Amino acid sequence: MEIERAFGGTLNDTHLWLVDLDDYDIDISLQVRYNEVYVGLSITEKSLHRRNIVEFNITTLKATIGYNLVRLASPSSGDIFLDPMCGGGTIPIECALSYPNVHFLSGDINEKLVVKTQGNVSHNSTKVKRNLGVSPLVCNGRHLCFKPACIDGVVTDLPFGKRVGSKSNNFLLYRLFLIEIGKVVRPKVGRAILLTSDRKHLIQALHVSSSLWNCKKQIKINMSGIKSFVFILKRTADLFDYALHGLKEKHRGKPFPPRNLSSDNNKRPE
């Protein structure tokens, strides 16, 4: 509060801008992070976090976050991307609107959410007057029914283990998921952008699947007060069968891969 008060006073002294927290013309924010200070200026009257979505569920990802996740994946023309836990389809829709030459497979284990995704896709297709490169489908993130090495990248919002599933389920779910997407993503050039608040279990899963994925970077974000992390992963150059053999050797004497997950562990709520 002291920093904000000093900042507001400096604006008033320098530009004669009166500080008014209710009836203001310009919204200026100040953030202090360690030894750095960020000053932000609002450029829209309303928040854009609900743009492009008309069919919501209780875990609908903010469109602004979905767009930035897509940007981190660096899509190129002709790429095929996958979100196997799409919910209402926020990430695929943001990609289709910003990168029209990229095709996005938008799947979820919950059929009702796939219907909602189709509704959101149809709404935006009508709005922009063109077909979006999004294919909604029912799929299971633990058992993907795609050919090996057919996907250029995966961008998804993983279950946090709060409103959906539980952290104890994430322990196994994340491991199976990384192995499955390691199979369908192209070696060496493939990438995965994963969002979660359950950092501990995703790091453990990455350790198990180290022959498939390299973690290039972690980005900490604040999602409505929930401390979350974006993991930027790069697929290793190893072919899946070779990498899987290495994983089995590494975990010899232990069940691998673990398959004792209940069928509803990564099911989105209705």
**Nearest residue to 123 via CA among 185, 66, 50:** 50
Provide the 8-state DSSP code for 25.
Answer: S
Mean pLDDT for 112-127 is: 95
Residue 257 above 80 pLDDT? no
The model's pLDDT over 189-223, given as tens digits with 9 standing for 90+, comes to 999 999 999 999 999 999 999 999 999 999 999 98
Listed in sequence order, the DSSP H helices in the chain are 2-15, 63-72, 90-98, 111-128, 167-184, 199-208, 240-250
The 3-state DSSP class for residue 145 equals coil
Q: CB of 237 within 8 A of CB of 187?
A: yes
Buried b (16+ CB within 10 A) or exposed e, 256-265: bbeeeeeeeb
Whole-angstrom distance, CA of residue 270 vs CA of residue 264:
12
Q: What mean pLDDT value characterizes the chain?
A: 87
The amino acid sitting at 19 is V
Considering the chain, what percentage of its residues have pLDDT values greater than 70? 88
pLDDT in the model for residue 176: 93
Whole-angstrom distance, CA of residue 136 vs CA of residue 43:
33
Domains and CATH numbers, the chain: 2-41 (no CATH), 63-250 (3.40.50.150)
Which residues does residue 30 pair with via DSSP β-bridges, in sequence order? 39
Q: What does residue 95 show for φ and ψ, rounded to 5 degrees?
A: -65, -45
Between 127 and 249, name the one with better pLDDT.
127
pLDDT in the model for residue 204: 94
The model's pLDDT over 16-48, given as tens digits with 9 standing for 90+, comes to 888 887 888 888 888 888 889 889 888 887 777
Contacts with 12 (C-beta within 8 Å, 6 or more apart), sequence order: 18, 19
Q: Can you read off the two tokens belonging to residue 106?
A: 């938008």
Whole-angstrom distance, CA of residue 235 vs CA of residue 252:
23
The model's pLDDT over 158-185, given as tens digits with 9 standing for 90+, comes to 997 655 656 778 889 999 999 999 999 9
* pTM for the predicted model, two decimal places: 0.81
Which residues does residue 81 pair with via DSSP β-bridges, in sequence order? 104, 153
Q: Can you read off the two tokens belonging to residue 258?
A: 């673990």
